[in-house]
Every structure is written in structure tokens, then in C-alpha cells.
Amino acid sequence: MRVLGIETSCDETGIAVYDDQQGLLSHQLYSQVKLHADYGGVVPELASRDHIRKIVPLIEKTLAEAHSSKDDIDGIAFTSGPGLIGALLVGSTVARGLAFAWNKPVIGVHHMEGHLLAPMLEETQAEYPFVALLVSGGHSLMVEVKGIGEYTLLGESIDDAVGEAFDKTAKIMGLDYPGGPRLAKLAEQGQAGVYRFPRPMTDRPGLDFSFSGLKTFAANTLRDSDKSAQTLANIAYAFQEAAVDTLVIKCKRALKQTGHKRLVIAGGVSANVFLREQLEELMKKLRGKVYYPRLEFCTDNGAMIAYAGCQRLKAGQAGSNIEIKPRWPLTELSALG
């Protein structure tokens, strides 16, 4: 089966063609970072309009690179949620329109399921069951995965997601948008041990996350500092160290609770080098293995949507309505059966 994937949940237009026999044939990604930089964050209306401008040319380019025409496509998958409602509508209407015109089945894909399955695009794939840490700008989830659609939510953020906390802390420190990656880069120049930030919610049982207080701690530390370049780097180091330590502690708990030896990490924050290093070290100690997608598939992309959609279309799942779900719990998804 060959599937065209469309991702428009936020500020990136991602298109891909995935074949279940040949793998990923082509993918294109257009980022709106420059468009939103002047505003310090994503402006939903501008994001929707830019998706409209870019989506059709990207589809044409992706199909050409995959040496595929509409006759070669067996199905279409699009992100139906969660995400920005206007952005989701763009991808949904284009996908439905193409499905009607080409007489192809179409399916709406859960954005976080796409992230969860993104590591399956790699040559080395995690076998089920495993624990998944899904960390992005809008979500921090710990999930037990027994199969596609067989998800048990172990923990989630009760306030700011870890990626959101990275971005907000970076903004407080005066770093340009997008702040998270810039803060991580600045942390490379920081010195260990200068500041000690709290590891939120690690002093109590459970697997939920809370990063809002960590952001506030960083703001208070910055306010009382001399704000020199080295001090900013030291604060960035301490913030990243605390955030990553918190995620590692929770992963260790989740693995112990479930008894699994395989850990999948996905989402934008999974590109963080320090986080990858610490999780690699953890899994070596536990005699397990950690899996994650290549860097280009950590952020939003069409490849993960094409892959996830392909699995569900092969199982006979397809829709007919232009249904989008800006809020959509991952646990509501059905198992492939």
C-alpha cells in the first residue's frame, strides 16, 4: 500500500509518500519559523494561511520525487488532531478533496500517534510492548504501548509541557524564537554546579509531569543574577539539566512499573542531545534499549502521518467526514485488532 501523508497541525507543512513494501519514498517539509519569529510564537491565523499557500505545491513536489501519480496512491492520511483548528482544517479539506477526486480511501491520524510511530521509519525498530516518552511543545506523555492503538496513559503534564517550558524559559532569557533549541545550544556553554534547579514532582510517586514551576524558578534566578553572558549560559545549563533529569527519573519509574526493557522517545524535544545521552546511559544501566527517530522526524512531519495512516488503512480503517479534533486524548484511539 502506498499512502500520501499530510501534516498541518501547527506551523509546519509536511507531505510524504510511504510505501509499506519500499518504505519512505519521499517527503517535504516547509517550516513557518521565519513567519512567526517577529511575534515570538505561532500566530494561528497566519499559520493557516501559509498552509494554504504551500500545501498543493508541496504535494506536487513530493509525488514527483516519489515517481508517483494519483494512480499509484492507494490512500491518503492527514492529521486530524490535536492541533490548531484552522491549520488542521487546511490539511483535512485538501486530503478529503483529493480523496474524492481520486476515489481513494482517506483517514484522519492522531498527531501524537504519528510521533509515537515515527521511530518505526528507521531500520532498527522497537518491538512491542514498550514504554514511550512523547515530548513536544504541547505535550508531555508517558505511555505504555502494546501495539498500534493499544495505549495506556501512564503520566502526562498537569501544566506546561516540557517543550513549552523550554520555549517560555528561553523567551524570559531574551532568546529568539524558536527558543527551545536556542536554550539547549546556550546550555552547551554553561558550567555544571553553579545553579541547582528543582526536579519537579520527583519527590512523590506517580508519573505525571509539571514544568511550570521550573520555568518560574529560572525566571527568579535570572531576576536575581547579574545577567552576564556566562550567567545566562549557566542558567540555561541548570534548567536543561533539571528538565532532563526529571524526564529520565520518570522513564526509569515507568520501565520499572511496566517491566519493559524498551523505551521509545519521540516529539520535538527528543532531538535534544543531552536528553538522548542521558537516556542512552539509563538504558545501558537497565540493560535495555532506547529508540528514537532521526532528527528530521522529531519535529512535525508528513512521514510519520503517512506511516501511521498506512497501518490503519491496511487494517481497513477509513473515514468519510471532514472531522478534526483540536483536543483528542491518545487513549481514545482504537486498536488495529
Share of the chain above pLDDT 70, in %: 99
Share of the chain above pLDDT 90, in %: 95
Q: Could you tell me if 87 and 163 lie in one domain?
A: no
Round to whole Å and give the CA distance between 4 and 8. 13
Separation CA 183–CA 232 (nearest Å): 9
Give the pLDDT confidence of 283-327 residue by residue, as tens digits. 999 999 999 999 999 999 999 999 999 999 999 998 766 689 999
Query: pLDDT, tens digit, for every residue of 162-192?
Result: 999 999 999 999 999 999 999 999 999 999 9
Closest to 121 in 3D by CA, of 282, 5, 13: 5
Same domain, 229 and 280: yes
Based on the domain organization, do 113 and 35 belong to the same domain? yes
Say whether 226 counts as a known binding-site residue: no
pLDDT in the model for residue 168? 96
Write out pLDDT tens, residues 67-95: 999 999 999 999 999 999 999 999 999 99
**276, 292 in Cβ contact below 8 A?**
yes
Give the span between the Cα atoms of 304 and 287, in whole angstroms: 28
Q: Kindly state whether residues 280 and 162 are assigned to the same domain.
A: yes
Residue 270 is assigned to a ligand binding site:
no
Same domain, 30 and 97: yes
Sign of CA dihedral 279, 280, 284, 287: positive
Is 91 annotated as ligand-binding?
no
Q: Grid coordinates standing for 115?
A: 510521533
Distances (CA, A) of 69 to 19, 74, 97, 102, 170: 13, 10, 16, 10, 44
Task: Report if residue 95 sits inside a domain.
Answer: yes
What's the domain count of the chain?
2
CATH code for position 259: 3.30.420.40
Q: Are residues 82 and 131 in the same domain?
A: no
Consult the annotation and say whether 220 binds a ligand.
Answer: no
What phi and psi, each to the nearest 5 degrees, are found at residue 308? -60, -40
Do 132 and 239 reside in the same domain of the chain?
Answer: yes
What pLDDT, on the 0 to 100 scale, is given for residue 319? Answer: 74
Same domain, 198 and 150: yes
**Is residue 200 located within the same domain as residue 261?**
yes
Residue 134, marked binder: yes
In a domain, 337, yes or no: no
pLDDT, one tens digit per residue, over 22-51 is: 999 999 999 999 999 999 899 999 999 999
Q: What average pLDDT does the chain have?
A: 96
- The stretch 146-164 carries a mean pLDDT of 96
State the pTM of this model. Answer: 0.95
pLDDT-based confidence at residue 64 (cuts at 50, 70, 90) = very high
pLDDT of residue 136: 87
51 is in an annotated binding site: no
pLDDT tens digits, 250-289? 999 999 999 999 999 999 999 999 999 999 999 999 999 9
Same domain, 19 and 70: yes
Q: What is the pLDDT of residue 321?
A: 65
Residue 211's φ and ψ, nearest 5 degrees, are: -115, 0
- Which position has the grid cell 513557518? 32
Residues 261 and 326 in one domain: no
Is the separation of the CB atoms in 238 and 195 below 8 Å?
yes
Which has more pLDDT, 319 or 61? 61
Cα(153)–Cα(146) distance, rounded to whole angstroms?
Answer: 12
pLDDT of residue 323: 81
Residues in the chain: 337
d(CA 140, CA 158): 9
Q: Element (H or E) spanning 153, and its range?
A: strand 150-156
The answer to whether the annotation marks 180 as part of a ligand binding site is yes
Task: Give the C-alpha separation, 103 to 93, whole Å.
Answer: 15
Domain housing 84: 2-117+297-332
Q: Looking at the structure, do residues 55 and 109 belong to the same domain, yes or no?
A: yes
Find out whether 300 is annotated in a ligand binding site: yes
Q: Is 321 annotated as a binding residue?
A: no
CB 184 within 8 A of CB 167: no
